[in-house]
Amino acid sequence: MNKKIPIVMLILLFGLQSFLLQTHATETQQQYDYKSAEFKAVASQFMCTCGCGQDHYACDMAGCTNTDAFKADLIEMMNKGMDKDEIREYYVETLGEEILTAPEKKGFSLTAWVLPFVTLGGAGTGVFFLVRRWTRRSGEIQTSNEEMNVKDEVEEEILSSIIDEERKKYF
């Protein structure tokens, strides 16, 4: 009797352990569906190819058969155990970077991230110098107008004095 109790306890412990391992294994193999947050994160990084301009998660264009097949492929890949980055790499290798909703932040695609800001900065600098040149020119024009007015007054005085002298000669 004394030997049966430890043997029964060992059998119970092994049985409990195998039950817990089996439960844990079913938890780790999660089945994804179209409404899961993980699916949304994966599907929203790919652009739909039907021409609607939306990502595959948001595409609801009538008659779009591309998105249904693509979503089914994504679910299948996720259920096989592929993560977000592996799926992204697979589709970039297969279809190219055009499938992505945003360009990658490396290589030549980095220009798509940097170029708009560089263009805005360059345009702002150009406008600054153009306005500065215009204000300087308007200041020069005002100065030259004042000088012309002074010269006109002097010339008027000279002419009026010459005219007065000529009048005095003949009258």
- The secondary structure of 92-140, three-state, reads HHHHCHHHECCCCCCHHHHHHHHHHHHHHHHHHHHHHHHHHHHHHHHHH
| pLDDT tens digit sequence for 3-55 | 777 777 777 767 767 766 665 555 445 677 778 888 888 888 888 877 777 78
77 vs 63, which has greater pLDDT?
Answer: 77
State mean pLDDT over 145-171: 80
State the pLDDT at residue 72.
85
Runs of H (alpha helix) within 3-109: 4-28, 37-43, 66-80, 84-95
How far CA 6 is from CA of 13, 16, 19, 87, in Å, comes to 10, 15, 20, 51
Query: Which pLDDT does position 140 carry in this prediction?
Result: 65
- List, for residues 98-127, the tens digit of each pLDDT value: 888 877 777 777 787 788 999 999 999 999
* SS3 (DSSP) at 68: helix
What confidence score (pLDDT) does residue 96 get?
A: 83
Q: Can you list the pairs that 155-162 forms with residues at least 24 positions away whose Cβ atoms lie under 8 Å?
A: none
Smallest CA-to-CA distance from 32 within 53, 55, 57 is with 57
pTM of the model: 0.48
Select the more confidently predicted residue: 20 or 68: 68
Residue 129 has what pLDDT? 94
CA 25 to chain centre: 40
- Domain boundaries defined on the chain: 31-102, 107-171
pLDDT recorded at residue 24: 52
